[in-house]
Structure 1
Amino acid sequence: MKITSYELYQVPPRWLFLKITTDSGHTGWGEPVIEGKAATVKAAVAELMDQIIGEDPCNIEGLWNQMYRSSFYRGGPILMSAIAGIDQALWDIKGKHLNAPVHQLLGGKAREKIKVYSWIGGDRPTDVALEAQKVSDKGFTAIKMNATEELQYIDDFKKVQDVVERVSAIREKMGDGFGIGIDFHGRVHKPMAKILFKELESLHPLFIEEPVLPEHNGTLKSLSNFSIPIATGERMYSRYDYKSVLADGYVDIIQPDLSHAGGITECKKIISMAEAYDVAVAPHCPLGPIALAACLQVDATCHNAIIQEQSLGIHYNKDNDLLDYVKNRSIFEYDNGFVKIPDAPGLGIEIDEDYVKERAKESHNWKNPIWKHKDGSIAEW
């Protein structure tokens, strides 16, 4: 079996889909994208695919190393996202060729289903208690929300109080059995992070995500004295990026993104590394159905995978949503806060290719907003 061709589809709301075709007729789908940089990743995928046309798609480890190691410059969000989507498609092909779901090829299931959470509140969180109730009514038992708006290095305590009030409203309405993930989104600098951790500790969040930007992971030591689990990793792109943060021992949950961090092949290794340090995993995935399917295949095989992000109803999905591009919309049916692991061959989903082609005609040029502080300086979004 040889790789013969590929197609790329830039589809709303902000996704990039890849289809790889082989001479046997087997096809595979991947989702290589950096949110806001879809066109850049698209160019990187085209460059990498030129290397592997004519190769056997089943030699995934060899092709992964070829794509990663044959270039003098490697790593980073663009190149690793391009590799990630290609890697997902290769696993999809191999599973279909062998008539087995990817999780069987990775060693088989460690679980039948995994807990999921839903996003609420948007970029500038409002009405979060009501939104939490709405997603609870849909069967979710945990949510994640952005904590803050813009924050300076040192800022008004009123902004801290606003965060506490929002989280308190959810806790009071939903009770202690409801999971509240709080995403600092890299918007918070070290001085304010310490204050927020202290003020939020009594509300028992499920975790605080990206309390500081990954380039400041050394700061996590000063936050590890609080009882709130620390999560990070969506902006870390390979096992090499995770080496020091795992060895330092201040992170409780890592969040590799299977469309950003080298795909199934690399993230399986990253997650196994984390298990050796007794660290849990909650893969990052505010993306489309192919990315989620890849996550679930890996989640199935990893003992330390605890909860899975998914994008149904997320505030970014304005033109299309998670289920629009799959033929079997029940494949991601959420039941009492869990989703079952797909068992069909490959990634376990069937993409509606006709609809993908139709929406690709509209395409998208999604960019994240640019925020500024009152003094005109750039704020972290």
Structure 2
Amino acid sequence: MTTIARIETFLVAPRWLFVRVETRSGIVGWGEATCEGRSETVRAAVDQLAELLVGRDALRIEDHWQVMTKGSFYRGGPILASAVAGLDQALWDIAGKHFGAPVHQLLGGPVRDRIRVYGWVGGDEPSEVRDHIAAQVEAGLTAVKMNASGRMSPVASVAELDGVVARVAAAREVLGDHRDVAVDLHGRFTLANARRLAPLLETYRPLFMEEPVVPENSHLIGEFVRSTTIPVSTGERLYSRQEFLPVLQAGIAVAQPDLSHAGGITEVRKIAALAEVYDVQLAPHCPLGPIALAACLQVGFATPNYLIQEQSLGIHYNRGADVLDYCADRTPLAFVDGHVERLTAPGLGIEIDDAQVRAAAKKGHTWRSPVWRHQDGSFAEW
């Protein structure tokens, strides 16, 4: 009844890769395997992994995850982990629909009734921050996240640092004391710059400071944690429990795995459990589409140490489509007082408009990360 019959992928605007898994009985599960700027490569990985799944029982989710991640001598990395993530989400969607229950019920049942969400408000351009924050507050959100800066020199000037402080101060002024702002360093800062900046921001009490160093320098993050009282977060470019362990041991306060990069629901649940051992909260990265967001929320409803959820409604990347555009019914992902109420429909809890996805896939997308350079012509982190 739950034998996998067909697996399809769809590149759709603005920059997403959807995965559709269909069983012989007609149950359809959706996943999102988006890897920003590398989705065509992930698509090839999904096609190869499909060889391991077609003809097999969709309900053997853990076994499929083990084989997909370990069935080749060469393992890991964002491409394979994203491909596995999209397929894993789709399998959980099928399981929920098969048993007539939302995924969080299959994960042990709800531990909360609603999940707080935050929106993105810019930060690259100072003039935009106030207006963007005001719009998010008007939409009912109680928390926002902003980029600390645009391009940042390896050893920042006084003007560069003061510009960051001025933008965060403006954000705090608009938000007041009862709403939160998180500050994303986006891996654009060297350790030295991040350590200089943090004391200047402490008076504005950010919810957290995100990705103070690039993930390949995770061995340095403990030095930054020890230099500030601001909660430190990271994890959107970490893909497994093994990669999260060193930053958890280094003292981060918030772990940010991406459900479309870090092996899907199966692995992120395990990352959450590991984080709980270190008294660390979960706030999954999700500037992506509706399927990724629904997968995050399903984990959140069943995970005790879940802090807040990122979502991308109105984000500047979403040109050509927005988060809810592929949903047959927009109401499950509606915001109520800055929260999303518990999803109750079977599977991931949302219904994807199959026809609209297929129509959008005919146009596809070729989204790429920008390439930035310093004034001397050398490469700059985006």
Q: Return the TM-score normalized by structure 2.
A: 0.98
**Does the 8 Å contact 1:122/1:315 carry over to 2?**
no
Distance 2:145 2:8 in 1: 34
Distance 1:204 1:267 in 2: 28
Matches within 5 A, 1:1-381: 1-121=2-122, 123-224=124-225, 225-248=227-250, 250-381=251-382
SS of equivalent residue, structure 1 residue 150:
coil
Q: Please state how far the C-alpha of 1:221 moved relative to its aligned partner.
A: 2.2
Distance 2:29 2:174 in 1: 44
- Offset from partner CA, 1:148-201 (integer Å, 9 cap, x none): 111122121100000110111111122111110110000000111011101111
Q: Please state how far the C-alpha of 1:125 moved relative to its aligned partner.
A: 4.8
Distance 1:331 1:311 in 2: 15
CA gap 1:371/1:124 in 2 versus in 1, 3 angstroms: farther
Q: Please state how far the C-alpha of 1:220 moved relative to its aligned partner.
A: 2.0
Distance 2:80 2:174 in 1: 44
**Does the 8 Å contact 1:114/1:339 carry over to 2?**
yes
**Does the 8 Å contact 1:5/1:53 carry over to 2?**
yes
**Does the 8 Å contact 2:123/2:129 carry over to 1?**
no
**Does the 8 Å contact 1:282/1:309 carry over to 2?**
yes
- Offset from partner CA, 1:2-45 (integer Å, 9 cap, x none): 10111111000000001001111111000001101110000000
**Does the 8 Å contact 1:125/1:146 carry over to 2?**
no
SS of equivalent residue, structure 1 residue 202:
helix
**Equivalent residue pairs, number:** 380
Unpaired runs of 5+ residues, structure 1, are none
Q: Return the TM-score normalized by structure 1.
A: 0.98
Distance 2:156 2:376 in 1: 13
SS of equivalent residue, structure 1 residue 126:
helix
SS of equivalent residue, structure 2 residue 20:
strand
SS of equivalent residue, structure 2 residue 33:
coil
SS of equivalent residue, structure 2 residue 127:
coil
Identity %: 51
Of 55-64 and 170-179, more deviation after overlay is shown by 170-179
Distance 1:26 1:125 in 2: 48
Distance 2:163 2:182 in 1: 16
Q: Please state how far the C-alpha of 1:341 moved relative to its aligned partner.
A: 2.1
Distance 2:319 2:71 in 1: 39
Q: Please state how far the C-alpha of 1:347 moved relative to its aligned partner.
A: 0.4
Whichever residue aligns with residue 272 of structure 1, its letter is A
Distance 1:75 1:126 in 2: 41
Of 238-247 and 275-284, more deviation after overlay is shown by 238-247
- Offset from partner CA, 1:311-370 (integer Å, 9 cap, x none): 100010011000000011111111111111211000000001111111111100000110
Distance 1:247 1:187 in 2: 23
Distance 2:36 2:75 in 1: 20
